[in-house]
């Protein structure tokens, strides 16, 4: 089936927006818990490779531009809002494409979750801290996880589409 096909088999844009909404709810719920129970910098040991921490990220992925003078808050907020608009347009056009739309819904939910943080707090709340042999991966949150899952699914969708086209 072509990416633009309208035959949804019962799955439409509202289904995907519902998934994105669930991601936003789960993301914001976990962040409220972290903000309520942890002070900035607090950490709880969970396993030899994972801690729960409270980190404030004023930048983007991997704290990109975190040390900028404050303009990055509005830049990344605007970027997230633009991305959300483009993704909603794409969902409307491609709702029948399950893997593609699943990926877009994940990215949409994650983007909105982080935009909410930037608007409410001026930073993104991160709390998942994975580490091994003294090396810490930058802390992240459920929104970041959803965006990463969505990006991986977009790559998989494209690989499968190219394979089907042969």
Q: Which of 117, 126, 129, 157 is catalytic?
A: 126
129 is catalytic: no
Q: Which of 27, 117, 129, 144 is catalytic?
A: 144
> Rounded CA gap, 54 and 56, in Å?
7
> Rounded CA gap, 115 and 77, in Å?
5
- Residue ranges of E strands in 48-91: 50-57
Closest alpha carbon to 110 in 158, 151, 59, 160: 151
126 is catalytic: yes
Q: Which residue has the tokens 């994105």?
A: 20
Q: Which residue has the tokens 């991966």?
A: 137
> Rounded CA gap, 114 and 87, in Å?
15
Q: Three-state DSSP class for 19?
A: helix
Q: Catalytic positions, please?
A: 126, 144
């Amino acid at each position: 089936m072509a990416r633009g096909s309208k035959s949804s088999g019962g799955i439409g844009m509202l289904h995907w927006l519902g998934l994105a909404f669930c991601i936003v709810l789960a993301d914001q719920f976990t962040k409220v818990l972290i903000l309520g129970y942890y002070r900035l910098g607090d950490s709880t040991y969970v396993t030899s490779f994972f801690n729960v921490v409270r980190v404030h990220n004023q930048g983007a992925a991997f704290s990109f531009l975190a040390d900028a003078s404050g303009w990055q808050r509005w830049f990344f907020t605007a970027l997230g809002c633009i991305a959300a608009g483009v993704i909603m347009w794409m969902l409307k056009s491609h709702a029948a494409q399950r893997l593609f739309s699943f990926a877009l819904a994940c990215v949409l939910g994650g983007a909105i979750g982080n935009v909410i943080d930037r608007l409410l707090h001026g930073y993104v709340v991160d709390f998942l801290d994975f580490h091994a042999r003294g090396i810490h991966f930058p802390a992240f949150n459920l929104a970041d996880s959803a965006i990463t899952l969505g990006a991986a699914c977009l790559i998989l969708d494209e690989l499968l589409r190219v394979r089907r086209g042969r």
